Amino acid sequence: MLNGTMEHVVKHSILCSYVLSQPLVTYVDAYPELQNKILMETEQLEFGEHGESIKLLQKKLNKLEYFDSEVDGEYGVLTAHALKNFQADYNITINGQADEQTIQALIDTEKDIYLKQIQSLSTEVYPGLTGENVETVQNALQYFGYYKGNIDGIYGPLTKEALITASNEHDGIELAEAPAVKVTVQNKVESEALKAQASNAGEKENAKEEKEEEKKQVVVEGINGGSIVAQAHSFVGVPYVWGGTTPAGFDCSGFIQYVFNMQGIETPRTVSDMWNFATPVDSKSVGDLVFFETYKPGPSHMGIYIGDGKFIHAGESRGVEITNLDNEYWKERYIGSKRVMQ
């Protein structure tokens, strides 16, 4: 059996051979690492030629900021001028030709840029994170052919798998784990418990009962809320499947039920049952449920509030993802928040 790295290389070699054998294939549509192989195995490009290979050459020169004209596939004066400028900067014979040495230098320079992006950001991104850093990493991973998903800025299972592959093939790439949820309310609970113990004997039993109820409430709103959100984050990128209740694929209510069950909390299966099961709240807290009216009257979609005006949910188009409550679509359909009480 091939290991992951060898399998990756074999797949690339086979695919490259296939692409080169197809006279009408659009090389520009191939992923960048395959484009590199195509350029290196193509006969030397000459001034006056035109075609897909010239487009690949122009795209690389454009990426490195040597070519700012239209990528038209024409090896003319502008392309030759860009090549001469590149050759001058990298101590290559200045002839404006796309010879093997120049092509290899272009590829090495571009590859180094993307590799440095992965190396510098790999410890800054982690499962569940969203944003520009994740998008940059995904784009760089896609360049090498490691990442096959959408460039969406969401660190899900595909991004993690791609980073693992990259770390096996390149030095300087370290994977970060999602930061632990800070439990700040526990100290408050313990402090209150000590105060209760210091109360007089006549009130001790009542104080204990009140404190148990307070502790239970704080756990639901704080500790469990953070744990639930952390658990939910780990499934970002899992695809949407109608009726799905496992990490192989979730629908919106199946996702919620699975996350809560992982925390030892049993909940109903459907959105409407969850709406009736949970307790209404005036102000949302981390771990609360947010409900929406979408394709039919009444609650028909839900997610978990994660703070900062955002919620995590299993959406039909992109699977488990993080969305802003101010998003026009969801803002218009929001009908309330509720809390699961133990």
Active site residues per annotation = 252, 301, 313
The C-alpha atoms of residue 321 and residue 255 are separated, in whole angstroms, by 11
The C-alpha atoms of residue 213 and residue 72 are separated, in whole angstroms, by 71
The C-alpha atoms of residue 154 and residue 310 are separated, in whole angstroms, by 14
Query: What are the structure tokens assigned to 83, written together?
Result: 């090549």
Instruction: Please list the alpha-helical segments (H only) found in 198-341.
Output: 201-218, 224-233, 252-262, 271-277, 328-333
- Chain Cα centroid distance, residue 19: 29
Residue 74 — φ and ψ, nearest 5°? -105, 120
Please report the DSSP string for 102-135 in residue order: HHHHHHHHHHHHHHHHHHHHTTT--TT-BSHHHH
Name residues whose C-beta falls within 8 Å of residue 100's C-beta, 6 or more positions apart in sequence. Answer: 40, 44
Q: Half-sphere exposure of residue 178, counting CA atoms within 13 Å on the CB side? A: 20
The C-alpha atoms of residue 43 and residue 218 are separated, in whole angstroms, by 70
The C-alpha atoms of residue 294 and residue 334 are separated, in whole angstroms, by 9
Q: Are 300 and 241 in contact (CB under 8 A)?
A: no
- 193 SS3 class: helix
DSSP letter, residue 27:
G
Query: What are the structure tokens assigned to 273, written together?
Result: 């049952």
The C-alpha atoms of residue 181 and residue 225 are separated, in whole angstroms, by 10
